[in-house]
Structure 1
């Protein structure tokens, strides 16, 4: 059971968001998970050029750290996303990561995984960002366990309570991976989403050759 934390804060070891991500990972570790951490600000992620090569071949023409990050996410059963609030959204490296996952969305590559998100803010908007990151995970096929957001500017002591909540979230994440917590409503949403993308890929079979092969391989092509 492996859980990976992906953080998009420019503050390195001084990041308050890092404290929340680490708390989730600690909670998961207490439940027996192996954990891994990725700091997006130490890596290079180029902007998607919308060339469509990934749809056809499964490969990206851009040579940077994206493929390694995505492979590490694919090798985990649980994914934790962390970001500070940048105008009710995520910082650029996290958005660049998301934009490079169009092929993974079409193929629903994170199906069967579980995820959650954490966010720190100055004054407000923390839960808008948590909701956005969780929506991205869901769009990729992930079942969402929950999220933690905290506005430190209003109450600096709130971070401590948020870390406690994040640790509990990590425990829930591990329990979900073990099958102790189930999400039938989300499972049905994902089933319908796979059917939608299956038809999209089937209709564009000539242009989306890699994705068509993926659906056949997964046994999802109808």
Structure 2
């Protein structure tokens, strides 16, 4: 069982967000998982201009670090996404990654995988960021098992107290992967999402053959 943490903080190794991610991964490791973490600030991930090469050809046209990271994400059984709050939202580093994974949404690239999200803030919006990141996981086909947001400036001891919950979240993630746990409301979301994109994919078959082939391989269309 492989679980990958993705840290969207520009502070990288010095970030409070990484501390939460690392604690989640510690809990997962204690429960038998092989864990790894990447700091997006250390990678060369560029913005794209909606070229649609990933839809049309099944590959990324940009020669940067994204394809290797994307392969690592798809190879993992579980993901831990983390971002501090930057003006009420995720950081630019995390948003670049999200935008570059557009074809992963249409292809439901993380179907069958699980994940969770964490966020830190000064005093607000950390829960909104957790909700957004977990929603992104759902759009990729994954099943989020929970999340944790911490407002650090409201209480200087908040991060320390949150570590117990983060550790437990890591254990929950591994148990969900191991038992293939199902959440009825998330399963219903996935069914609705697949129906939505089934119409998009079959209608766009000549334009997006790479995505269409993925759906055929998964027996979602035939």
Mapping for residues 1-222 of structure 1, pairs under 5 Å:
1-179=1-179, 181-222=181-222
Please give the per-residue CA displacement for 1:54-111, whole angstroms capped at 9, x wherever unaligned. Answer: 1111111111010111100101110000111001111111100000111111010111
CA contact (8 A) 2:12 2:40 kept: no
Pair 1:209–1:181, CA change in 2 (3 A): closer
2-structure distance, mates of 1:137, 1:181: 16
For residue 192 of structure 1, report the CA deviation from its aligned partner: 2.2
Which structure 1 residue ranges, 4+ long, deviate > 3 Å from structure 2? none
Q: Identify unmatched segments of 5+ residues in structure 1.
A: none
* Structure 2: tracts of 5 or more residues without a match: none
Change (3 A) 1:180 1:106: closer
Secondary structure of 1:155's match?
coil
CA distance in 2, matches of 1:33, 1:195: 33
Q: Distance in 1 between matches of 2:168 and 2:181?
A: 14
SS state at 1:146 partner: strand
Residue 162 of structure 1 and its aligned partner are, at CA, apart by: 1.1
Aligned length: 222
- C-alpha contact 2:13 2:39 (8 A) present in aligned 1: no
Distance 1:112 1:181 in 2: 10
Output the CA distance in 2 between the equivalents of 1:201 and 1:52: 14
Structure 1 position 184, deviation (Å): 2.5
2:207 aligned counterpart, secondary structure = coil
Distance 1:12 1:204 in 2: 40
Contact 2:141 2:190 in 1 (8 A): yes
